[in-house]
Structure formats: structure tokens, C-alpha cells
Amino acid sequence: MMLGNNGAGLLLALLTALFWGALPLAVKHLLPVMDAVTLVWLRFCVAAVWIWCAPHRPQRTAAAAATPPPPAAPSRRRTWLLLAVASAGLGANFVFFNSSVAYLSASACQILAQAGPVLLLLGGVFILREAFLPVQAVGVGLLLTGLLLFFNTRLALLWGGDSNFSFGMLLGASAAVVWATYGLAQKVLLRHLTPTRILRVIYPCCALGLAPLATPADILRVDGVQMLCLIFACLNTLVAYGSFTKAMSIWHAAKVSAVVATTPLFSLVLESLLHSLWPTAYPLDSVGLLSLLGACVVVLGALGIAVGPMLHLPHLPHLPRRRR
């Protein structure tokens, strides 16, 4: 039986959240034999080959679809500068996030990564002069409150001498900061370039930039299960990005964003499941009721930030609605 757009969009959005939620679990199993830089380099190499070889449908830029007419295109020098900033930001985000998995649980990494949309929102307000809607302010407050609730039993470790936890938190926070930098550069580029054209520059640049720091010989050290994790990690970007893009094209953007915002919950559930099967390979942090509540509050905050403007804009006809 053929699925309608609603069913197909929901399944594709769930697939995106599932793959993004499972990624840190695969990375955690690889880090004992492969450093994060090498892993990220391999992922970008696969993504670069895919983005250049796979067929793509023609896409309209945000500028072509927006009304009123967009501002004049930036100079070629500024465009390349923005592409360089976006490449450096995305590459650093991958390295910091994958490195943080060695020091934090998979669910903690995903919860901490939700600070990225907050920083992107604030950057858009203060740098790009975008509107800051009340629903977004509520979302930011909820997300920050959720972070404090989720890490309530571990905040003391930041000052209590647990250097591993502190370093992991630093890596996770750094990943959020550089992701916001990438997001801001991409927002400007999307006014005049399609996502595919941007990624055709970013993926190869990240792969080339990380190549001198990578150790390809680490691939020979992985066992059978780790090889499956490595394949999954390399294909994760392709499957998740492809599913997300397709879902956005056939389903309402607000609904897709709402489903994808549940990614931390997928990490939490999958981590608990793997811990029950392989407790030594996947140790589980003690998560109390307050931490579980914090995870849910973080998801609600992410919903407010991502979905709120899409639900709010139709009631504000004097504001032009941007396509993402």
C-alpha cells in the first residue's frame, strides 16, 4: 500500500532522528581503536564522493523563492570567505562532537548539542538582525532549564575534580559554538546558493583540511562489529541528510522539525537498550527522574526554537516568510 505524503514524511523524519540519535553510540564503540579526527575525515570523504557523484534534482535558492526581491548577491571573495567559515565550522563541529563521546554518554552529548540552535538563534538576532519572537524566547528558556535539570547530578563534577567530565562538557559546548558559526555562514549563503552547491564545497574542503591529521592505518585495527559501526557512521550523514531533505520536500517543515527535535530521546532509549545487551561496552549513567524530565524539557525547548516561528509567522502577514 502506498503511503501518502503525511505517512512518508513522518517515516522519513523518524528515520532522520533515529540515525542522528544512534550516531554517538556507533562513535563510542569506535573511539577505543580510532581517533575522532580520522573517523570524521572518513565520514567527510564518503560524503564528498556522494555529493559529487549522486544525481540531484535542480533546487531553487532561498533568494529565488523569497519575496520581496532579495538583496544583491555578495562578491565572489565574500562568498568564498563564507564557504571557508562554514567548512571550518562544520569540520570542527564534527571533530568536537565525536571527541566528546569518549568522555560523555551518548544521550548527554545529544542533549548538550541542543545548545547549538540557541546560539544560532542568538547569532541570527544580533548579527543578521533577524526577529526574535516570544515563542522562541520561551523555547530558549525551556532548553536552558532542561539542560540544568538533565545534568543536575553532574554539575558538581565540573568543579569537583572530574577532569574527564569537564573536558567532555567543554568539547560538547565547543561543538555547539562552531555549529552555530557554520549555521550563520550557511544562512547567508542560502540566500544565493542551493544547499547542494554549498555542500559540494564544504564536504571536500573538510576532507582535505583534516587529511594531514588523519591516521588511515587505524582502519586496520577495527574488528567486525567496529567495522559495522564505521560503515554506519560514514553512511549516517548521507541517509540522515537525504531523509531530512526528502521529508522537508513532501511534508510541512514544522512537523519535520518537531519530529527531528526528539533526537536526544532516541539517543536515550537506544543507549538504555544497548546497555541492557552489552553493559560493559555501553555503560549507562545513572539517570534519575529529574534528568529524564530535563531531557523532555530540552526537547520542548528545541521545538519552541525550531517550530515556533513556523507556527507564528502565518499570523503575521506583514512579515515575509522565509524558506529554509
Q: What is the pLDDT of residues 134-169, one digit of tens each?
A: 888 999 999 999 999 998 877 766 666 678 888 999
In eight-state DSSP terms, residue 2 is -
| Cell numbers that stand for 3 in this block | 503511503
Q: How far apart are CA 37 and CA 57, in angstroms?
A: 32
Element (H, E) at 32: none
66-75: string of b/e by CB count within 10 Å (b at 16+)? eeeeeeeeee
> What is the 3-state composition of the chain as percent helix, strand, coil, each rounded to the nearest 5?
75, 0, 25
Q: Is the pLDDT of residue 119 over 60?
A: yes
The confidence score (pLDDT) of residue 62 equals 44
- Residue 58: exposure state from Cβ atoms within 10 A (0-12, 13-18, ≥19): exposed
- Look at residues 47, 26, 99 and name the one whose alpha carbon lies nearest to residue 241: 47
Query: What does pLDDT average to over the chain?
Result: 85
Q: Percentage of residues in the chain with pLDDT exceeding 70?
A: 84
For range 214-237, the mean pLDDT: 94
Q: How confident is the model at residue 110 (pLDDT cuts 50, 70, 90)?
A: very high
* Beta carbons of 309 and 321 less than 8 angstroms apart: no
Task: Give the cell for residue 293.
Answer: 524530565
Over 254-319, what HEC string results? HHHHHHHCCHHHHHHHHHHHHHHHCCCCCCCCCCCHHHHHHHHHHHHHHHHHHCHHHHHHHHCCCC
For residues 181 and 85, is the Cβ–Cβ distance under 8 A?
A: yes
**Percentage, residues of the chain above pLDDT 90:** 53
Average pLDDT value for residue range 29-53 = 95
pLDDT (mean) for 237-241:
88
Average of pLDDT values for 111-115? 92
Sole residue written with cell 564536504 = 203
Distance CA 231, CA 236 (A): 8
